[in-house]
């Protein structure tokens, strides 16, 4: 089977990886534009704490979290061990918003069917600060042991390299159109070149809708700008610091290289405006320093900007397009791309190779209204 994957973010890269493992001939096209959501994503893997209540969303998110250890082990066997993936746990804190008892009840309810979530217990402010030293001194916390973090750039690159070693081809070209008819897609057009295949997996994030418009298809995905800040704490060993999850939509997490990531803005209506803004920086820093004032002396290292592909109901858009043979869509992961993306890529690879995935994709119909 020949498959074209449009988009080399974490979903597309995962699909290519699993497709090649199943024997498919895979061609990947992606111009690697600035603003790709995967490259800017924080990398928190902790769906049990999420405030999103939709059961279909949670099925994918919890499946993604459950899948990560096996995926990391499989990639390590393929020579790709550098993913930035580590099970570091999470500290759930109330901050100024309160609500820690409610968060505990909601998290415990989800943990009942999720052994991979680990354990949940309360920490005193001193105990919490021992795990995350910049935390303010009066902040009690809940510690959730199963939470993890991953570096989206490293993960996507590892998946792509592994797929290429299995024979996939990567072209850094922008797809400008689909080849075929309104009822059958047979390939894609990139500049003056055409690529043909048995199926096209369109995983182009917020850039996908214009490619479908000539077929009369309206993909309900819009870009949401997210600005996320990277700080450095030279000389600090941050490798084992837990993810910090306040009641708000902001967060903090640390990586192995004395780096702390804080974020993020959620800017609906931004379009593809790939700019760092004064207001965005202010919002992120105010939230971060309010809960972790010990970061005030950190070095401002980098600000990343990503365009999250948002669906109207926050659920991903996954699966074949009814009435259009040969066209499959993977999109709409929103702010959960690095939790759901690798798992969604595997599910779509299963659908292409076997005709069905291990879970029903019906709730994620890409053209649902």
Q: How many residues does the chain have?
A: 369
Token code pair at residue 187? 């390939």
Averaged pLDDT, 188-206: 97
Q: What is the pLDDT of residue 34?
A: 79
pLDDT at 95 over 80: no
Which is higher by pLDDT, 351 or 102? 351
pLDDT at 153 over 80: yes
User: CA 103, 104, 110, 113: dihedral to nearest 10 degrees?
Assistant: 170
Q: Are residues 130 and 111 in the same domain?
A: yes
Residue 286 belongs to a domain: yes
Residue 103 belongs to a domain: yes
What CATH code is carried by the domain that includes residue 339? 3.50.50.60
Confidence of residue 96 (pLDDT cuts 50, 70, 90): low
pLDDT at 99 over 90: no
Q: Are residues 215 and 302 in the same domain?
A: no
Q: Are residues 232 and 296 in the same domain?
A: yes
Averaged pLDDT, 25-29: 99
Residue 60 belongs to a domain: no
Which is higher by pLDDT, 289 or 94? 289
Q: Which of 13, 149, 27 is nearest to 75 (CA)?
A: 13
Q: Which domain-ending residue is among 285, 310, 335? A: 310
Residue 160 and residue 16 in contact, taking contact as beta carbons nearer than 8 Å: yes
In the chain, what percentage of residues exceed pLDDT 70?
A: 99
Q: In this predicted model, what pLDDT tens digit does every residue of 30-77 receive, in sequence order?
A: 998 877 888 888 999 999 999 888 999 999 999 999 999 999 999 999
Residue 67 belongs to a domain: no
Q: Are residues 158 and 193 in the same domain?
A: yes
Q: Which domain-ending residue is among 310, 327, 349? A: 310
pLDDT at 21 over 80: yes
pLDDT at 253 over 70: yes
DSSP 267: B
Q: Are residues 123 and 179 in the same domain?
A: no
pLDDT at 97 over 70: no
Q: Are residues 6 and 142 in the same domain?
A: no
Q: What is the pLDDT of residue 248?
A: 80
pLDDT at 15 over 80: yes
Residue 69 belongs to a domain: no
Q: Cα separation of 224 and 201, whole Å?
A: 22
Q: What is the CA radius of gyration of the chain?
A: 20
pTM (2 decimals)? 0.95
Q: Are residues 336 and 292 in the same domain?
A: no
Q: Are strands 327-331 and 317-320 parallel, antiparallel or unpaired?
A: antiparallel
pLDDT at 266 over 90: yes
Q: Are residues 130 and 214 in the same domain?
A: no
Residue 235 belongs to a domain: yes
Q: Are residues 288 and 302 in the same domain?
A: yes
Q: How many CB atoms lie within 10 A of CB 278?
A: 7
| Nearest-10 crossing angle of helices 337-354, 10-21 | 30
Q: Are residues 242 and 167 in the same domain?
A: no
Residue 297 and residue 235 in contact, taking contact as beta carbons nearer than 8 Å: no
Q: What does the DSSP assignment read for 147-216?
A: -EE--HHHHHHHHHHHHHHTT-EEE-----EEEE-SSBEEEEEETTEEEE-SEEEE--GGG-HHHHGGGT
pLDDT at 369 over 90: no
Q: Which domain-ending residue is among 293, 310, 327? A: 310
Q: Cα separation of 37 and 165, whole Å?
A: 25
Residue 125 belongs to a domain: yes
Q: Are residues 140 and 228 in the same domain?
A: yes
Q: Cα separation of 312 and 220, whole Å?
A: 7
Q: Which of 60, 169, 177, 48 is nearest to 114 (CA)?
A: 48
Q: What is the pLDDT of residue 322?
A: 95
Q: What is the pLDDT of residue 40?
A: 84
Return the residue matching tokens 């994620």. Answer: 364
Averaged pLDDT, 342-360: 98
Q: Are residues 134 and 275 in the same domain?
A: yes
Residue 194 and residue 225 in contact, taking contact as beta carbons nearer than 8 Å: no
What CATH code is carried by the domain that includes residue 262? 3.30.9.10
Q: What is the pLDDT of residue 231?
A: 98
Domain that holds residue 11: 2-39+153-221+313-364
Residue 252 belongs to a domain: yes
pLDDT at 277 over 90: yes
Number of domains in the chain: 2
Q: Cα separation of 129 and 131, whole Å?
A: 5
Return the residue matching tokens 């550098």. Answer: 82
The DSSP bridge partners found for residue 142 are 92, 122
Mean predicted lDDT score pLDDT of the chain: 95
């Amino acid at each position: 089977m020949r498959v074209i994957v449009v988009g080399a973010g974490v979903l597309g890269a995962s699909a290519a990886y699993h497709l090649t493992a199943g024997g498919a001939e895979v061609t990947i096209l992606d111009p690697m534009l600035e603003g790709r959501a995967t490259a800017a994503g924080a990398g928190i893997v902790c769906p049990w704490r999420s405030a999103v209540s939709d059961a279909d969303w949670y099925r994918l998110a919890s499946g993604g979290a459950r899948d990560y250890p096996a995926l990391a082990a499989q990639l390590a066997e393929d020579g790709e061990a550098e993913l930035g993936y580590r099970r570091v746990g999470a500290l759930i804190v109330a901050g100024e918003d309160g609500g820690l008892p409610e968060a505990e009840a909601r998290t415990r309810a989800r943990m009942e069917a999720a052994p991979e979530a680990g354990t949940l217990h309360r920490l005193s402010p001193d105990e919490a600060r021992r795990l995350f030293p910049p935390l303010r001194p009066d902040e009690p916390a809940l510690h959730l042991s199963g939470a993890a973090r991953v570096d989206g750039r490293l993960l996507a690159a590892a998946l792509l390299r592994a797929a290429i070693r299995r024979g996939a081809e990567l072209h850094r070209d922008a797809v400008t159109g689909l080849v075929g008819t309104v009822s059958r897609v047979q390939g894609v057009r990139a500049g003056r070149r055409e690529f043909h295949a048995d199926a096209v997996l369109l995983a182009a994030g917020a850039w996908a809708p214009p490619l479908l418009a000539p077929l009369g298809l309206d993909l309900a995905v819009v870009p949401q700008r997210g600005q996320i800040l990277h700080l450095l704490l030279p000389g600090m060993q941050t490798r084992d610091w837990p993810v910090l999850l306040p009641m708000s939509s902001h967060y903090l997490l640390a990586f192995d290289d004395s780096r702390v990531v804080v974020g993020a803005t959620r800017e609906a209506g931004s379009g593809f405006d790939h700019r760092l803004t004064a207001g965005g920086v202010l919002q992120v820093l105010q939230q971060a320093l309010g809960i972790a004032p010990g970061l005030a002396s950190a070095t401002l290292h980098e600000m990343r900007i990503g365009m999250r592909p948002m669906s109207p109901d926050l659920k991903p858009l996954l699966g074949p397009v009814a009435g259009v043979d040969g066209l499959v869509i993977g999109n709409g992961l929103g702010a959960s791309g690095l939790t759901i993306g690798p798992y969604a890529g595997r599910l779509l690879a299963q659908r292409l190779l076997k005709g069905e995935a291990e879970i029903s994709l019906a709730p994620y119909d890409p053209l649902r209204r």
